[in-house]
Structure 1
Amino acid sequence: MTTKSIYISILAFILIYALSFQNKTLKATYTLNTNKTVFIAGEKVSLEFSFSTDSDVQLYCSNSYGSLLIEPEIDDNILNFLIPDSVSKKSGVINWQLLSNSEAIKGQLTIRPKPTINSIESYLGPPSIEAGGTDYTMLIVIPTDDLDNPMADSTKVQIKHQFLDNEIFNDVFTDHGFAYKTINSYKQSGRILISSECLDLNSKEYDVNVMPAIPTDFTIKAERVHNYADGNQITIFKTSEIKDRYDNLVSDGTFVIFYITDQNGNKTQTFGTTINGMATAKILHPDHEEQWSVKAYIEGMANSDTITLDYKQAISNFEVAFSEDKRHITVGPLQSFMKQRVPDGLSITLKLYQNNSLVNEIMKQSSNGFALFHLSTDEYPQGTYDFEIETAGLTKSFTNITNE
C-alpha cells in the first residue's frame, strides 16, 4: 500500500469516528414540551420531555414539605413525569431538575391555592386584657381552601368586634397566608366579642375579658357589737368599693390583707377577698384592754387609710382559791362586763416559781367561767412555791405557798 493510500485511510477513519461521536451526542438530548408553569392546587400536574436517546432518567422535585424522585412514563420518545398529589395539592413553589448525563435541565412550578374558601382558622390571645386603652389582644386569621392551603395573598378578611354599644368592622388583607388585627381595650371593663369573615364564610365567635386596671387607694371601717375586750366577740373589717383609675370595680377575688398593730407594736393580720368590689375580714376581740391600729393593703398596688380601735377591759377582777393541801387551784368565777360568766375558752396561765426560778408554766382554758389546776406530787414535790396567775390582762401573785 502506498503512502497516499495510508493517509486516505486514516482520514476516513477519523471522519467516520467524528460523525459517529457527533451523532451519539445529538441523540443524548432532552427537550421540555410542557409550557405551563402555574397550576391550581388539586390539578393534575405533569412535565413532558421529548428525547432522542437514553430514557434512563429521573425527575428530582422539592418543595417546602420535602423532596422526592419521580420515574417517567415512556411513550414513543416522550417522557412524562406525573407529580404526585401529595406535592401538587400543596400551594407554593416546586423546584425540579431532570437528572441525566447531558446538560442539566431545571425549572420551577407554581401551585396556587383554590379560589374558593373552605374554612377559617383563627387564633386569639391573650384572652384577658387590662382596661385603659393601652393593652390589646390580637386576632390572627388563616383562611384556607379545602386542601388546607392558605388563600392567596391580598385576600380580604373582615374582622368584627363588639363591646357594650360599639360595633367595629375592620378590613384587613392576607399576607404570607394570614391576616391579623390588634384590638385595644376600652376604659370600661367588660367583654369584647370578636369574629371574622372571608369570602362570605364566617368564623366562630371569640371573647376577650377586659379586666379592671390596677386598684387605687381605698378606705376601711370596723363593725363590732361592743367595744369590750372579751376575747369572744368578732370585729368585722370592711373596705369601701375598691376601683381602678377608670372607675371600674376591681375583679372579684382580689386579695386584701388587714394588718393590725397593737399598743405594744405586735402585729397580726387577717384577710378577705373582694366581692362586687368590697372585701370583708373578721377577727376575734382581744382578751385584755387594747388599742389596735388597722391598715389594709392590696399587695404592691393599693392601700387604705389607718383606723384606730379601742377595746375596754371586760374582766375587772377574778378570784383564786387554794385547796387545803395547796395542790388544787381554782380560778373563778370569771365575770365579764355585765357580771356574766365569760364564754368558754378564755386563756388562763399559771406560773410556778421556786427560789426565784421558773419551774413551769401551765395554761388552761376556762369552762363555765372557771379553770382548775392540779399539781401532782410526782411532778411538784412538797415545798414552798410562788404562784403567778394571768388572765384577761390581769395578774395575781401568791408567795410562799407551801404544799403538802
Structure 2
Amino acid sequence: MRLIYLFSVFLCFVSCASNEKHTYEVENQSVELLQHQKTYVAGDKIDLSFETESTNEIYLLISNAFGNSVLTPIKDKNKLHFAIPKNFSRKTGPCHWILVANGEQLLKDSFRIEPKTSARATLETYFGPRSITAGIQDYSMLVNVTTDPFDNVYPEGTEVIFKSQFLNSISEYTVPSKDLISWKNIYSTTKSGRILVNTSFKNITSKELTTIVFPTLGEAFEIETDRNHAFADGNQIMVLRSGIIQDKYNNIVGDGTMVNFIIKNSKGAILKSMAPTINGIAKASILHPSEKEEWQIDAYITGAAKSNSLSINFDTAITDYPYEFSENNRLITVGPLVSFMDQLVPDGILIQLEIFSETGQYLETKKVSSIKGLGKIELPKEFYPDGSYRFICKAAGIIKEFEVTFDEE
C-alpha cells in the first residue's frame, strides 16, 4: 500500500519536474545529491547517490519514455544508492526523478539520455509505392530511420546518403534527418523500367529496394484487318490487329492493356470484339457476316485512346437459293445453299421464315440453321389449319416471298 501511495504522489509531481535543486529537512537531517551529471549515453550504468542521516524509508520515483517505477536504495552507512534499471537507462530522452520519504518530496530533478552514436547504427529503410507511372509527376518516397543498438533514433540533423539508379545513371543525395526521419521523393522517369535505391550511413548500407516505372496511358494508334477473302460466307475469321501502342513518352504500353474493337454494320447494329495487348499489339478475331455488309470499325482503350476508322466491305457469297414444298405443302425445304465457288455453305447459316395469315396478320417467325446446305421447316396442321398463308423467307440477306394454301380434304 505504501508503494501505491508513493507512486500516486509521484504522478502528481512528475509533470512539474524541473532542473532546480531542492533540499528538505527530514528529522532535522538534510538529504544531498552526491553527483550532478545531467547527461548520459543510452546503455550507460546510471546510479543516483544521496547522503543523509535520516532513518526513514526513502524511495526514488523515476519516469521517462519507457514508463514509471519506484526504486528502493542500497544503503551504505549514511549513503543511499539507487541503480537505474537497464530498461530505463537504454531509453533516450529526459528522465525525471523524485526522492520521497513518508509521502513527502525531498528532492526532484532530471537528467537526459542521448543515443549511443558510438556503436554500430541500424538503418530502417522504407520505399513506396513500389510501382509508379512514367512522366514527371509521379514519385515514390524513400524514408530512412537511423537508430542505435537500443532502437533509439539518432539526433536531428544526422546525415544519411541516399542513392538511386536508373539505366546508366546513378544519383547520390545527402539528406539530414528531421523529425526523427530522413526522406526524399524519388521521381518517375519518362522511360519505363526499374528504379533501384538504397541508403547508407557511415559504413552501413541498407538492402536494395525497387520501384517499377510503368508506361502511362496509351496514345492514338492504328488498326488493320487481315482476312482470307472478302465474301460474306459466315464462316471465315477476320483478324483485327492494332499497331504497336505507345504512351506519349514512346514507351510500349504494358501487357494486358485491353483494346475494344467496336464494329457498326449497315443496319446500325453494334458488334464488339476485344483483346489484351502483348508487346504493345492487340489482336482480336471476328466471324465474317453471312450476308452482304459494310462495317465501320474503330478501336478504343477505355478512357485513354482511340484508333483510326476502317470501312470494310463484304461481298455476297450466296447469290440465290431454291426452295420447295412437300406434296401437302407442310414441309418447306430451303436450299441447297451454295457459296462463291458453288460449294455447299458451312453448317449454321440462319434461315428465317416469317408467317402471315391470309388477311396479313403476323403469326410467327420460325428459325433454323442450315445443315449440309439445307434448311427444313415443318408446318404441322395442329398449329396451321387449312387455309392460305403468306411467307417471307430470309437467308444470307436474300428475301423471297410466296403464298401457300393448305388443303388436305
TM-score, normalized by the shorter chain, greater than 0.5: yes
Counterpart pick for 1:177 among 176, 180, 185:
180
How do 1:290-301 residues align onto structure 2 when only pairs under 5 Å count?
A: 290-301=293-304
Structure 1 residues 24, 393: closer, same or farther in 2, change over 3 A?
A: closer
The superposition leaves residues 233-283 of structure 1 with CA deviations (integer Å, 9 ceiling, x where unpaired) of 111111122112221111111111111111222222211111112211111
Whether 1:42 and 2:46 are equivalent positions in the alignment is no
Whether 1:387 and 2:388 are equivalent positions in the alignment is no
1:23 CA displacement:
7.8
For residue 395 of structure 2, what is the amino acid of its counterpart? T
CA contact (8 A) 2:329 2:404 kept: no
Structure exhibiting the larger radius of gyration computed from Cα positions: 1
Aligned mates of 1:102, 1:86 — CA distance in 2 = 25
1:177 CA displacement:
3.2
Question: For structure 1, which segment, 223-232 or 72-81, has the greater mean C-alpha deviation from structure 2 after superposition?
Answer: 72-81
1:334 CA displacement:
0.9
For residue 238 of structure 2, what is the amino acid of its counterpart? T
Structure 1 residues 98, 314: closer, same or farther in 2, change over 3 A?
A: farther
The superposition leaves residues 93-140 of structure 1 with CA deviations (integer Å, 9 ceiling, x where unpaired) of 323333441455132332423422343211101112222233221111
CA contact (8 A) 1:91 1:113 kept: no
1:205 CA displacement:
0.9
For residue 26 of structure 1, what is the amino acid of its counterpart? N
Aligned mates of 2:192, 2:407 — CA distance in 1 = 74
Could you say which residue in structure 2 is the equivalent of 1:56?
57
CA contact (8 A) 2:65 2:91 kept: no
1:54 CA displacement:
5.6
Could you say which residue in structure 1 is the equivalent of 2:200?
197
Match of 2:153, SS? Answer: coil
Match of 1:305, SS? Answer: coil
Aligned mates of 1:154, 1:231 — CA distance in 2 = 75
Could you say which residue in structure 1 is the equivalent of 2:159?
156
Could you say which residue in structure 1 is the equivalent of 2:234?
231
1:308 CA displacement:
0.7
Whether 1:361 and 2:365 are equivalent positions in the alignment is yes
Could you say which residue in structure 2 is the equivalent of 1:222?
225
Question: For structure 1, which segment, 109-118 or 366-375, has the greater mean C-alpha deviation from structure 2 after superposition?
Answer: 109-118
Counterpart pick for 2:28 among 26, 36, 40:
26
CA contact (8 A) 1:113 1:152 kept: no
Aligned mates of 2:138, 2:368 — CA distance in 1 = 58
1:342 CA displacement:
1.0
1:363 CA displacement:
1.8
Match of 2:88, SS? Answer: helix
In structure 2, the gaps of 5 or more residues are 1-23
1:401 CA displacement:
3.1
Whether 1:311 and 2:314 are equivalent positions in the alignment is yes
The superposition leaves residues 34-76 of structure 1 with CA deviations (integer Å, 9 ceiling, x where unpaired) of 3222222222223223334364344333333433333333333
Counterpart pick for 1:350 among 353, 374, 378:
353
For residue 402 of structure 2, what is the amino acid of its counterpart? F
Match of 1:86, SS? Answer: helix
Aligned mates of 1:296, 1:56 — CA distance in 2 = 89
Counterpart pick for 1:211 among 204, 209, 214:
214
Aligned pairs, number: 382
CA contact (8 A) 1:117 1:199 kept: no
TM-score normalised according to structure 1 size: 0.87
CA contact (8 A) 1:41 1:88 kept: yes
Aligned mates of 2:407, 2:147 — CA distance in 1 = 96
Aligned mates of 1:362, 1:163 — CA distance in 2 = 67
The superposition leaves residues 202-226 of structure 1 with CA deviations (integer Å, 9 ceiling, x where unpaired) of 2111111112223221111111111
CA contact (8 A) 1:117 1:151 kept: no
Match of 2:36, SS? Answer: coil
Could you say which residue in structure 2 is the equivalent of 1:401?
405
Aligned mates of 1:182, 1:385 — CA distance in 2 = 81
Aligned mates of 2:380, 2:118 — CA distance in 1 = 98
CA contact (8 A) 1:257 1:271 kept: yes
The superposition leaves residues 172-202 of structure 1 with CA deviations (integer Å, 9 ceiling, x where unpaired) of 2223432112212222111111112112112
Could you say which residue in structure 2 is the equivalent of 1:90?
91
Identity %: 35
CA contact (8 A) 1:216 1:245 kept: yes
Aligned mates of 2:406, 2:197 — CA distance in 1 = 86
CA contact (8 A) 1:327 1:403 kept: no
Counterpart pick for 1:373 among 372, 377, 384:
377
Counterpart pick for 2:120 among 109, 117, 121:
117
Could you say which residue in structure 2 is the equivalent of 1:11?
none
Could you say which residue in structure 2 is the equivalent of 1:66?
67
For residue 261 of structure 2, what is the amino acid of its counterpart? F
1:403 CA displacement:
6.1
For residue 355 of structure 2, what is the amino acid of its counterpart? L
Could you say which residue in structure 2 is the equivalent of 1:14?
none
Could you say which residue in structure 1 is the equivalent of 2:18?
none
Aligned mates of 1:359, 1:286 — CA distance in 2 = 28
For residue 227 of structure 1, what is the amino acid of its counterpart? A
Whether 1:127 and 2:130 are equivalent positions in the alignment is yes
Could you say which residue in structure 1 is the equivalent of 2:287?
284
For residue 90 of structure 1, what is the amino acid of its counterpart? K
For residue 187 of structure 2, what is the amino acid of its counterpart? N
1:148 CA displacement:
2.3
Structure 1 residues 32, 235: closer, same or farther in 2, change over 3 A?
A: same
